[in-house]
Amino acid sequence: MCELLAMSANQPAEVGRYLSRLIPRGGRTGPHADGWGVAYYEGRAARIFKDAAPAAESRFLAMLAQHPFRSTAVIAHIRLANPAIFGRATANTHPFEREWNGRSWVFAHNGKLPGIHERALPADCRFEPLGDTDSELAFCHILDAIARGIGRQRDFSPAMLSHTITPVVNELAALGEFNFILSDGECLYVHADTNLHLLQRACHAEDGTDEMALLATAPLTAEPWQALAPQRIHVFRRGRHLVEPPRAARPQFAPTSYSAAMTAAAAG
């Protein structure tokens, strides 16, 4: 369907080596020829480059892979349109971005969610899709849950965020395949459903240890990538893996289901 690549690091780092390995899969050695995108965070804002053309044919993307962009959080995606009727278009190209609470939120998805277009967003939801994909609609559902569950708090913990989105993630994952990476520039929130791999790297320097976590749909190098445990929301912050509980777990403050929460909101 699609392929994901992401990075979290405790110091600004380059990801070009891994991006260059992903590029050929976008239409040359792989079928993911319906667009590409890369988001590099600079503090609270994301610098996003994307195009609906094949990654393997993009001289601009090849330049990005060679350019010494440095960031502590990166999300990249190559797309295979599925269904094909939702074809090549900028509005359908990942990663997607929305502002919430003074930060850029970026999202990319690998998988398919049949039936999601029958699940209408709440009438008072401030997030709307620009394109046709199930992925962007899922992103809007997740952001709506964040806006309702966390609101304007700016000191929320990664655990609070992941617990807040757990109900809607459970419901969307039940529709099909839901591997995704979500970020606010501070953390990567990663849902491993069927196929995501992790590579953790550390380099010892005089002023401390540089730590990096890399995520990819399929391993990109001969290094020791490990499959992420499925049906969990994994959190990565500054290159470290903060393992979250299985998705069946529910905190007491979270609604028992996203649908129930939306029904209650509408009734209110």
Q: Which residues are catalytic?
A: 2
Residue type, 162: S
Contact residues for 174 (Cβ-Cβ < 8 A; gap 6+)? none
17/198 Cα distance (integer angstroms): 16
Structure token pair of residue 266: 């509408």
Q: For residue 139, which of 104, 188, 105 has the smallest C-alpha distance?
A: 105
Is residue 183 within 8 A of residue 97, CB to CB? The reply is no
128/206 Cα distance (integer angstroms): 48
214/75 Cα distance (integer angstroms): 10
